[in-house]
Amino acid sequence: MIKPLKKAVLPVAGLGTRFLPATKAMPKEMLPVVDKPLIQYAIDEAREAGIEEFCLVTGRGKDSLIDYFDIAYELEATLRERGKKSALEALAPSSVQAGSLVAVRQQEPLGLGHAIWCARSFIGDDPFAILLPDDIVKGRSCIGQLVETYNKTGGNVVAVTEVPPEHTNRYGILDVGSDDGKLVEVKGLVEKPAPEEAPSNLSIIGRYVLTPDVMKYLAKLERGAGNEVQLTDAMAKTIGEVPFHGLRYEGTRYDCGDKAGFLEAQIAFSIDREDLGDSVKAFLKKYKQYVDAP
């Protein structure tokens, strides 16, 4: 019997150096896309998938991520006094059910695999999702699509997309077995291979559904690429023990850990807003001359 998936781990301990100086005083996961921080998009996506329990793997200086999901009594009281109903409604998604969110510290930056290992008490013997808030997927919940696949296949399921062959050294890359155009059998995984050594150009993005089998390999804390504990290496060792699939998800991914990707996400999400769309389309026309310039 396939065990229901109700837990999600969100690794948020990174320093966000690509967004300095902004991230000197605030976590990069609190950077807003339009008017919601990155961490909120990840939590909303997980809740849409039916996930009910959340673990933030944080680091020093990241307490504001926990505070964000707390109740802001003074702010809410002031908004009620002033009759700011729309502002109160905007706050609602930033609250979570009491006891449904916990945080653990990753004291040293030893890689994604180490971050997941830090959540071992939260995970226990349950299947769990991983969402990297740097990635926003516009459209139907990406992690929800993985959960649907997990409920049919069991085992591990990762969201995958094709990348330019010259970019394989930036991602975990799949060695592909059977492939029906949407669901891919995973024969092997390689972390950040050189283009000439990559088994394919099918890469994992920041969405995973994993069984707890991976934890016994993470517990060894073996170092891989970059001298870090790599989640990809631990997942690769579960191949053959549990079913393992990659899913070509529906939706558009924006890499908000990259400045250009972050800016593109601002435009993509604002242009669909009833309150902003027309204004955004209007000001974009002013920059057409620069786009068309040789």
Residues belonging to the chain:
294
Tokens of 199: 């088994």
Specify the residue for token string 């300095």: 20
Q: What is the pLDDT of residues 27-81, one digit of tens each?
A: 999 999 999 999 999 999 999 999 999 999 999 888 899 999 988 889 999 999 9
Tokens of 177: 């077995």
Specify the residue for token string 């330019």: 164
Contact 51, 129 (CB under 8 A): yes
Closest by Cα among 36, 114, 108, 115 to 68: 36
Instruction: Enumerate residues 6+ apart whose C-beta is below 8 A from 166.
Output: 195
Within a 13 Å sphere around the CA of 275, how many CA atoms are in the beta-carbon half? 3
Tokens of 33: 């896309």
Relative to beta strand 128-131, strand 135-138 is: unpaired
Q: What is the pLDDT of residues 100-154, one digit of tens each?
A: 999 999 988 889 999 999 999 999 999 999 999 999 999 999 999 999 999 999 8
Q: What is the pLDDT of residues 215-260, one digit of tens each?
A: 999 999 888 877 888 998 999 999 989 999 999 999 999 999 999 9
How high is the pLDDT of residue 197?
Answer: 87
How high is the pLDDT of residue 169?
Answer: 85
Please state, in angstroms and rounded to a whole number, the distance separating the CA atoms of residues 154 and 12.
27
Tokens of 24: 């000197």
How high is the pLDDT of residue 49?
Answer: 94
Query: What domains, with CATH codes, occur in the chain?
Result: 7-257 (3.90.550.10)
Closest by Cα among 264, 221, 1 to 116: 221
How high is the pLDDT of residue 157?
Answer: 96
Q: What is the pLDDT of residues 15-36, one digit of tens each?
A: 888 999 999 889 999 999 999 9
The structure's pTM equals 0.92
Closest by Cα among 104, 101, 100 to 116: 104
Q: Which conformational region is residue 172 in: left (phi greater than 0), alpha (psi within -120 to 50 degrees), or beta? A: beta
How high is the pLDDT of residue 245?
Answer: 95
How high is the pLDDT of residue 177?
Answer: 86
